[in-house]
Each structure stands twice: as C-alpha cells, then as structure tokens.
Amino acid sequence: MGAIVSKYIFITGGVVSSLGKGLTAASIGQLLRSRGLNIRMQKLDPYINVDPGTMNPFQHGEVFVTDDGAETDLDLGHYERFTMRKMSQESNYTTGRIYSDVIERERRGEFLGGTVQVVPHITNAIKAAFTSLEEPGVDVIMVELGGTVGDIEGLPYIEAFRQFSLERCRDDVMFIHLTLIPFLRASGEIKTKPTQHSVQKLREYGIQPDMLVCRTEVEVGREQCKKIALFCNVHTDEVIIEKDVDNSIYEVPLMLEKEGVANKICQFFKFNTAEPDLTEWKAMVETVINPEKTVEVAVVGKYTSLTDSYKSVYEALAHGGIANKADVKFRKVEAEDIENNGAAELLHGVSGVLIPGGFGRRGTEGKMAAIKWARENNIPFLGLCYGLQCAVIEYARNVCGEPEAISAEWFDEEGEGDLAKAFVALMDSQQKVTAKGGTMRLGAYACDLLEGSKARECYGRESVNERHRHRYEVNPEKVEILKKNGLCISGVNPDRNLVEIIELPDHPFFIATQAHPEFKSRPIKAHPLFKAFITASIKKSEE
C-alpha cells in the first residue's frame, strides 16, 4: 500500500494470562497480509529479564531464535508461522532491555544530569522501540503487550501507548483488547462482568479499546454482545467472539475472517484493499481437519510435561504431517523415564523418534538410549541441536568402540574433565578445542550439503542457512573416527568447517542437525527435514 505514515495496532489482554494474544495477533497479521498490506509485528514483555535466553523452559516455554540471533518470546514463532514473515532483534523488547538501554544512556551522560524517571524517559524508550519498525512502505505495525492489564510491571507500556495515541492522529492508532468470557457450567451461564472490569481498568489508564476480542468456550449470543458493548463503551459490531477452535490453531484466522475483523480494521484505517486470498490457507486447514492417515512419533526430551517448551518442534512435526496429508500424534516421553524403564518399553509402537534441543546433562542417558533403540531397530530418527550431539556420543560409544565418549558440557562445575574423551567440545576463535570460553552460535549460519547425501536430497539444494542456539560443537579432532566407522558428515559450515548435519546412509532415515530447523517451518510450507522425517515415519508405520 505504501502508506506515508504507518498505522499502529496495540493489542492488550485482560482477565487472565495465557488467553492467546499471540495467536490472535498472528492471525490478524495473516489476514492483513492476505489483503496486500505490509505489516510489522512486535512483542513487548514486561518481565525484567533482558531476554528469555536464560529462563527456565518450565516457566517461559521455548526460546524462539531469529535469523539475526535474537533470543525471543515464543509468540514470535506464531508471528512467523502465520504471516510467513521473518522477525528480528527489533521484534521483541523486555523491561530489562528497555531499562538497560536507558541506564546505559544515563551513564554516558546523554540526559545532561537530569533526573531519569519512568515518565518521560522509560516511556520514551518504549515508544522508540515500537517506532523503530516504522519505515517507508510499512502499512501497519502491530504491537502485542504481554501480561494482563492491571499488572504493575505493564503500566509503563500502557502509559506509552496512551501518550503515543495523543502524539499521533487518533485515526492512526487502534486499540484491540483481548478478554475472557467465562462459562459457569453449574448454572449454565456466561459472565460478562470480568470483561467489563478489564475494560474499566484499561479506561482508568486513559485507553479506550476500539475493538474487543472475547475468548470463550461456548457460543455467545447477540444480546450478550450488546451488553458487553454498552458497558465497555464500544459499538456492538466491534465486539468479536473468538470461540475455542475444534481442531487446530490454524483455524483461528478463518474464524476471525468470518467475524469480519480484518475488514473492520481496514475500515478504521480507511485502507482500500484487495479481497483476501485465503485459498492456500483454507486448503491447509482442510488437510488438518480431514487427514488421510495417522502416524505416531515420540518426542524424547526433558520438558515434555509443558507443551510450550517444544512449541516450534510440535508445530513443525504437524507441518510435516500436513505436507503428507497425515495427522501426527505425539508420544511425549521424558528422557529420565527411559533411563528408569528402558527405551523398548516406552517407545514400543512409535514410527519415529525425535530428540529436541536442550542444555545440561540431565536426561542425556535416556536420550542416547532412545537414539540407540531407533538406530538398531531401523526407526526413523531426527535429532535437533543437542539431539545431534547425543547421537554423536551414542555412536562413538556403541559403534566406534569409545565407551567413555562424553561431551565437555558434562564436565564438573570447575570445567575440569578429560578433553581426550570429548566428542563434543567448546571451540575457540581458531576452531581449536578449548576447556572453556566457547562462543555461543546464535542465529542463521550457512551449511554446505554433501552431494549424494539424504540431507541434500531432503533440501534439494547444495547449501542452506539454518538458525542455531548452542555453544558446544562436534569435536573436529574426532570426526575421522566417526567417519571411519560409517557415520556420514553430510552438512558442514563452510566458514568454520564445523559439523552441521550427520546421517547414516544405510538407515531408512537417521539424520541429526546442529541447527533448529523447526524455527523455519510453516504450516503451508513444511521444513524439508520434518517433511522427510514424517514421510519416513509413515512408511515405517505401513510396514
């Protein structure tokens, strides 16, 4: 569209957390893009951590990594999967990052000795964060605020939104508030009062929502919408009911399209857009709802009790299923349970095994037992990041005759251990093995694929770029031992000559990558490795 000044949509949440603001924002973004609008998306997280990179997956879920190496909130994964647009360092800000930047500026004397305060210094920094996405040709900037209205840590962000709506033309700024309409099963009633109080709190802060998106598990009638509109000071047509979907999160955009959300946004901003082309998306959803086959794969990890810990992995597996017109069932297996009960018992009947990324030694023996079981029983296997490292050590121990093979990550707290036994180790800037001080590889790195390899067949290309998040590497000094005993190094980083992909040529499907390919998989364009893994798993299930 080439708007001279970008329009802004600020998305807030009320009543309870985990309502699905990220999914709703991503769905709206997808609908706007389908109308030809150029959008940018950003997540503002009120927690004080500078980024989620050091946060426990049980508390925060997965860390989503962008091409430029940002460790971000998992909602950015929804943004990318739904809008097919890459996020960046500027797509996620936290309170920790905002305050760190302001404090650094104060230390440099940029405020000329003035008193640094939340208003205006912090609020100005917040506004600078979301206006950094503004550039020629960007039609809409969507900004999602984490947490719930009323949380003390979210107040500076709400204040920044309020100020910004006064500084810009009011018609250039839209507020969408996501709330919950609870259903009381005992009385068979829905309750609108929580939504009323949530909007009341937002209005106390100086923000009047332009649209309400009401999450509910039951149908909400016209009369209830009128009541919500009356008490929340919005038009009835601006009360959008977002009922829980039956089959897949990928139904949400179609539901919101039926509710006319994108049309109302375009009317608000006076956009004259083309009719949306949702043909491909509808076909994908139809495949999800009516698959032709079913396959079960095991995900063996340390955080399987919380789905969000491996959110992108599960989504990428589902995408692989979509590409094969199949429904992928997940058997979530705790690695430590395999250590106690054995792989044969807990993995019996699955048609594929995936080992996701992770850090630390806990559960490693269980992961390696699962890999050994898959390798010896010709079960398709896909290893991601730490999954590759576990596969290398398992192979060294059980095939290469190196029973004491380890990773340097397992050394004691002082970093002391026998480097001679480390098949996975830290590397210094000269690509030499070192006892400490390795550099974290974050973001996209190149990988050259070996001609004739299964990896190259999967990708259909000579070289690729994949996202990374790890510090330890396959020890270059051990590569010849692995190759001599039949392990194929099918992917190598051309800049540092580091192992990127391994595979077993004589196995139906045994591939592991040092990267996190799950971050680049999309529902209408499955990642090649996940697509091939599910293809192999389906073939195994049909034997």
Residues annotated as catalytic are 385, 516, 518
Measured over the CA atoms of residue 356, residue 360, residue 362 and residue 366, the dihedral's sign is positive
Q: Cα–chain-centroid distance for residue 107?
A: 35
Measure the CA–CA gap between 66 and 275, rounded to whole angstroms: 31
Q: Where are the beta strands (DSSP E) in 217-275?
A: 239-243
Q: 344: phi > 0 → left, psi -120 to 50 → alpha, else beta; which? A: alpha
Token couple for 4: 């001279």
Q: How far is CA 19 from the centre of its chain?
A: 17
State how far the Cα of 140 lies from the Cα of 320, in Å rounded to an integer.
31
Q: Do the beta carbons of residue 503 and residue 458 sit within 8 Å?
A: no
Helix then strand then coil, in percent of the chain rounded to 5, is 40, 20, 35
Residue with tokens 């009835």: 236
Residue 380 identity = P
Number of other residues whose CB lies within 10 A of the CB of residue 175: 19
Nearest to 217 by CA among 259, 183, 252: 183
Q: How far is CA 162 from the centre of its chain?
A: 29
**Do 8 and 40 contact (CB within 8 A), yes or no?**
no
Contact 319, 523 (CB under 8 A): yes
Q: What are phi and psi of 203, to 5 degrees?
A: -70, -30
- Does residue 354 sit in helix, strand or coil? strand
Residues 6+ apart with CB under 8 A from 275: 35
Token look-up 């917040």 returns 126
Please name which of 420, 427, 424 lies closest in space to residue 409, comparing C-alpha atoms: 424
